Amino acid sequence: MTATEAAPAAAGETPGGPPAARGTVWRRLRRNPAGMAGMVLSALFVLAAVFAPVLAPQDPAAVDFDRLFAEPSVGAPLGTDELGRDQVSRVLYGIRSSLFVAAGAVLLAAVAAVPLGLVAGYYRRVVDPVVSRLNDAVMAFPFLVLAVGLAAILGPSLTNAAIAIGVSQIPNVLRVIRGETIRLAEEDFVDGAIAGGASDAAVLFRHILPNAVNALLIQVSVGIPVAVIGEAMLSFLGLGVQPPTPSLGVMLSGAQTYFTQAPWLAVFPGLVIVLLTLAFNLFGDGLRDALDPKGARR
């Protein structure tokens, strides 16, 4: 590579594999009906979580002993539970809890794993063997087993559930970022940046990291539905959100006793969990295809 060719790389450009332009990504995503459906449904769930205090018809903890086990009706579209609490309000706040935990978990995983993955992938002789062995050791534990164990140690709460799930997701994010760093470090634009006098930190954070963003976004989109399932499971087991705070997992746990008497107490929270995870999975698959550089040649 000549000095002229190296100049753009040293200036911060990434000619060896820039992320797809936003307009191009949007055009590819629009051509994917499943991806668009997932994006719209995911956006609706996010809006429902953000505006739950406005959308909820009642206080989710409000008890009404005159409406115990009320069946779904115009006044209570999803019925009421054993304490007369409105299920629409509780489902809305349950979505809020699930997405709060999911957002916190993926943010924690990204903040912890991205620097480790970059350093391990770039310093392959010194740092990588240590980081990779530790990562392999953590990945030997199934995700849910590790999340349950951490939640049991930290104690049951919404924040601790997010921490437990986030720590459990670090190995997968680290592995993806490490692999991207190894691949990108071999590209010509990185060689050009080094030849132009860029420091290791500049190479990692100005040249490699921007080109690894696509892989990180895809991993985040995959991690959100996993975190939603994890939060529901921890709350179901009593290790996540604690009553009377609404949670989809708490609602399912409480519905076990009354399933034959009031099946809607389990059906609606379970259906929301299925739709929530399906929406983000579809959106993640569509985003992965839209961000695929090969898509430009399709």
Tens of pLDDT, residues 106-138: 999 999 999 999 999 999 989 999 999 999 999
Residue 10 contacts residue 207 (beta carbons within 8 Å):
no
In angstroms, the CA 190 to CA 211 distance is: 11
Q: How far is CA 85 from CA 60, 62, 71, 262, 271, in A?
A: 6, 6, 12, 13, 19
- Token output for 161: 């559930």
pLDDT higher than 60, residue 298:
no
First to last CA, the chain: 30
pLDDT in tens, 224-254: 999 999 999 999 999 998 888 899 999 999 8
The SS3 call for residue 80 is strand
In angstroms, the CA 136 to CA 35 distance is: 32
Residue 104 contacts residue 168 (beta carbons within 8 Å):
no
pLDDT in tens, 15-69: 444 455 667 888 888 899 999 999 999 999 999 999 999 999 999 999 999 999 9
Name the amino acid, one letter, at 58: Q
Domains in the chain: boundaries: 28-53+78-291
pLDDT in tens, 267-279: 999 999 999 999 9
Given this model, what pLDDT does residue 255 score? 92
pLDDT in tens, 161-177: 999 999 999 999 999 99
Q: Which helix (H) or strand (E) holds 7?
A: helix 3-10
Domain 28-53+78-291 fold is MetI-like fold (1.10.3720)
Residue 241 contacts residue 164 (beta carbons within 8 Å):
no
Residue 288: CB atoms within 10 A of its CB come to 19
pLDDT in tens, 175-206: 999 999 999 999 999 989 988 888 999 999 99
